[in-house]
Amino acid sequence: MSLKNLGDISYFRLNNEINRPVNGQIPLHKDKEALQAFFKENVIPNTKQFSSITEKITFLLDNDYIERDFIEKYSPQFIEQLAAKIQKEHFSFKSFMAAYKFYQQYALKTNDGNYYLESLEDRVMFNALYFADGNETLAKDLAIEMINQRYQPATPSFLNAGRSRRGELVSCFLIQVTDDMNAIGRSINSALQLSRIGGGVGITLSNLREAGAPIKGYAGAASGVVPVMKLFEDSFSYSNQLGQRQGAGVVYLNVFHPDIIAFLSTKKENADEKVRVKTLSLGLTVPDKFYELARKNEDMYLFSPYSIELEYGIPFNYIDITAKYDELVANPNITKTKIKARDLETEISKLQQESGYPYIINIDTANKANPIDGKIIMSNLCSEILQVQKPSFINDAQEYLEMGTDISCNLGSTNILNMMTSPDFGHSIKAMTRALTYVTDSSTIDAVPTIKNGNQQAHTIGLGAMGLHSYLAQHHMEYGSPESIEFTDIYFMLMNYWTLVESNQIARERKTSFVGFENSKYADGTYFDKYVTGQFVPKSDKVKELFANHFIPQAKDWQELREAVMKEGLYHQNRLAVAPNGSISYINDCSASIHPITQRIEERQEKKIGKIYYPANGLATDTIPYYTSAYDMDMRKVIDVYAAATQHVDQGLSLTLFLRSELPQGLYEWKTDRKQTTRDLSILRNYAFNKGIKSIYYIRTFTDNGDEVGSNQCESCVI
């Protein structure tokens, strides 16, 4: 960015004054002054001016900044009217961070980087026009939802919509590797291609034969999963998106795979450089049986994927370890090794304490809640995508003998703060569902046919949420309190209801359902059993008051929806997923995802600039007691909140756990003032499992010297 020498300008100095208390008070007004100075000193003088939106669009088209096709679906008169409608909403950024993030990361700039070519209003308009695909009514609806920040497309969609020189609208993919060299080679090429277009890639290695397994009858010939992990890491490092950022990937392994200890060891700080992976993320798929064996302090057997596929004729991922565990142990044809379950549990905790990895996917929990015929076998780079996959089989010519289904993530997010003031919650959700439907319909990843195939069959989307802690604090509810859990329950129930309503409507209009609908729990109606009881309604006075202006479906409404879905289907195989959504939460000026804030005044290190301070939305004397840092919170409260949402989310939620290396007195009932131990992490994982949590993302630890997020003297001040 060559607009100016940004670090020497007053808005950074003004923003930094937030971190200098005056008479024991945080000078929050300095952030507003920084925001005003940013527009005066940077945005206004560096924005290319046009006399009208028509003149601007003509310039952008003539100079190949935006695509012509989506613009020509509308008349110039309509676009002028839409631009005026957006302006009448009088949008303004609420914090310096929000404005800075938008103009640095999202705003279209001239080729030389010297001028901004669009405002947030312009980016919203182009998104609305693009996703509405010529439907003027939908374009208006989407523009209103986005300019009022009730809906926020995920970064790749929001950033790229309408641009001529753009990346994909999606940036998250899942691919499966089967146990042969052709599949491994093809998957490495897929990783290269997906990384090239800006994708973060999830890969499951559980099907691969273990180190020492035979190859073509030669015993001990197989090298196992670790060398393949190194190949993937090198692929992501090489295919680094024009040198702007490293490619990103995560590899998943089942805890019953014989290479599990070697897999975990690759992330240890003292690992040999020949096996150590520095940038590749690690995740585990954990069947229920592991929790049982660890709880009973019993031995556990690790089963050879090679011998399982020989015996059962299916890849390892598709064996139900929990159901077949005793059978596998007793079968002499299955090669197996024995370890102590608790020893593995301790290894997992040690690595999480040291590195934050591995992610945990409670794979049986995910599959028991899954309404779709088929099996979930893995997740993505942020652990919120949980969809069924089918394996592919490839010949020596690298041709598909049988093409399976892999996954792309088509994401967007509601902003809870603003959704709760929506004049029509259902109308808002339906418009968002339409926008995401355009993303899934128009995304075609030709370089990876299995992803293209999966997307075309499933039409999946993932609508999520952010701003939960912001909303709770501003309504004087403690995060994790009974009322906050009840609020979360009802909010996600409404998201589920209205996405189902709209998916059913789209299926009716197009006379098309996702492939396999007839074998789903939607088709036979059993998915709706818990809803037709009428139990999901506000019960406490506080939550009744919060939802007083919103329609709450009763038992009869769910029954009518069940009948409509059984009769006319659903367009989308999956509809809901809660991502971490860090960047987009800044421009929406709200807490990220549905987890708690980490600091009341967040400190961020920006490249070439230094520190920026971001006060929590609505931070004031009356809300500061409700803005408890995640690092000072009982993590069981966070798990409880996520569990309330999980029961309504057909995919997953990216759940991060936040811990201190030194735990305050009485933070947990089983803890005193002592160092965090591996046992604490084990207890939390088991608690999450028993609460029905499908996945755990990072474990983030705040150390005494501030290694994780840094110390902040504002934390102890008043407003």
pLDDT tens digits, one per residue of 531-548 = 999 999 999 999 999 999
Copy the structure tokens of residue 379.
Answer: 């997740």
| 645 has pLDDT over 70 | yes
Three-state secondary structure call for residue 118: coil
Query: What's the confidence (pLDDT) of residue 678?
Result: 83
**Which sequence positions are flagged as catalytic?**
380, 382, 384
Residue 150 has pLDDT above 50, yes or no: yes
Backbone phi, psi, residue 151, to 5° = -125, 135
Give the mean model confidence (pLDDT) for residues 42-64: 97
Closest to 257 (Cα-Cα) out of 222, 281, 298, 230: 222
The token pair at 513 is: 């359902």
Is pLDDT at 395 greater than 70 in this prediction? yes
HEC string for 148-200: CCCEEECHHHHHHCCECCCCCCCCEEEEECCCCHHHHHHHHHHHHHHHHCCCE
In 613-714, which residue ranges form alpha helices assigned H by DSSP? Answer: 635-646, 678-690
Tell me the pLDDT tens digit for each residue of 128-149: 999 999 999 999 999 999 999 9
pLDDT for the residue numbered 609: 74
**Per residue in 484-541, pLDDT tens?**
999 999 999 999 999 999 999 999 999 999 999 999 999 999 999 999 999 999 999 9
pLDDT grade for 709, boundaries at 50, 70 and 90:
very low
Q: What is the percent of the chain where pLDDT is above 70?
A: 93
The predicted model gives 327-352 an average pLDDT of 97
- Mean per-residue pLDDT, 372-390: 97
Give the SS3 label for residue 457: helix
Position 246 scores a pLDDT of: 67
Whether the predicted pLDDT of 712 surpasses 50 = no
CA–CA gap between residue 403 and residue 390 (Å, rounded) = 8
Q: What is the pLDDT of residues 553-566, one digit of tens each?
A: 999 999 999 999 99
Average pLDDT for 388-412: 94
Question: Per-residue pLDDT averaged across 57-66, rounded?
Answer: 98
Band of the pLDDT at 672, cuts 50, 70, 90? very low
Position 221 scores a pLDDT of 87
Ordered DSSP codes for 283-326: EEE--HHHHHHHHTT-EEEEE-HHHHHHHHSS-GGGS-HHHHHH
Cβ proximity of 171 and 386 under 8 Å: no
CB atoms within 10 A of CB 234: 16
Q: Which of 681, 643, 628, 691 is nearest to 659 (CA)?
A: 681
Average pLDDT, the chain: 93
pTM of the predicted protein model: 0.95
What pairs with residue 252 in β-bridges?
204, 283
Structure confidence by residue, pLDDT tens digits, 434-479: 999 999 999 888 999 999 999 999 999 999 999 999 999 999 999 9
pLDDT (tens digit, 9 = 90+) per residue, 177-233?
Answer: 999 999 999 999 999 999 888 789 999 999 999 999 999 888 888 999 999 999 999
Average pLDDT over residues 307-334: 98
